Amino acid sequence: MTTDHAVLVLRLAAPLQSWGGPSRYNRRETRPQPTKSGILGLLAAAQGRDRETSLTDLVGLHLGVRVDQPGTLLRDYHTYSDYRGLPLLSAKTNAKGQQTKTTPPKYTGVTQRFYLQDAVFIAALRGPRTLMQSLEEAVRSPVFPLSLGRRSCPPTGPVSLGLRDDTQLQHIFAEVPWQAGSHRRRQTRGTTVSLEATVEDPSGDQLAVDVPDTYNLKTGTRFGRRTVRHFWVTVPTGHAQPTHPAADTGTTGQSDHDPFALLGW
């Protein structure tokens, strides 16, 4: 590691988040973890960049994500129509490249969008110290409103957890305190908790297709690939060590076993 680099740590928490990636049209899905496209979009908004601004400096940042509270999946079902009472446009185009109206006329469409409810993530980004300092200042005082994946998903509480000296992202994840909500904390009775984490790693064994080339609406976004590695990290829960042994349930340790803990239930 070099001294001219630093790590920016973000807390991504909200009632709703949605990290859709390449999903489009009337079914907008969400990934189970924040995407690089979504996080870089948050940083670009914080700095006040317009959609045509180059992302070269941001795309080069190394990203890691820790799942402190996975949340649950929500499907939002609703209908839409043209406010003028006109038939909706179809996916077909005419010889001039213009969309044609639905035949027979269709006046109401259905769209489904998916969200993560009550999820909490820690994102760590490593890059040049000067750039990371400017990003940290921007997140604390953003030019445009910040959102977690979609504009309708504003974050809860401060997003920045500050800058850290340059080190491996997995070390950062072992040091940052557990950020889960009070309800999730009450469900966990042990002194430590195991959390899933993902970091960019050239030798990783999985690919993530979520690296944006631009946010320009006229040209659209093409998503590039990055190699990632998954692992688990153990952090303290803040609970004191029990002073009395657990009640005898017939099986040693059974009273402290929660098979649904990793699902966030």
In whole angstroms, what separates CA 197 from the centre of its chain? Answer: 12
pTM summary value: 0.82
pLDDT at 66 over 80: yes
Average pLDDT, the chain: 88
Q: What is the DSSP string of 52-110?
A: TS--HHHHTSEEEEEEEE--EEEEEEEEE--TT-PPPEEEEE-TTSPEEEPSS----EE
Across 211-233, average pLDDT? 90
Which of 3.30.70.2660, 3.90.950.10, 3.30.1950.10, 3.40.50.2300 would CATH assign to domain 5-70+116-263?
3.30.70.2660
Reported as a single tens digit per residue, the pLDDT across 77-95 is 888 888 898 888 887 778 8
User: To 10 degrees, what angle do helices 36-47 and 129-140 make?
Assistant: 70
pLDDT at 114 over 70: yes
For residue 254, what pLDDT band results from cuts at 50, 70 and 90?
A: very low
Per-domain residue ranges for the chain? 5-70+116-263
What is the spatial distance between Cα 47 and Cα 131, in angstroms, rounded to a whole number?
11
- Position 3 scores a pLDDT of 66
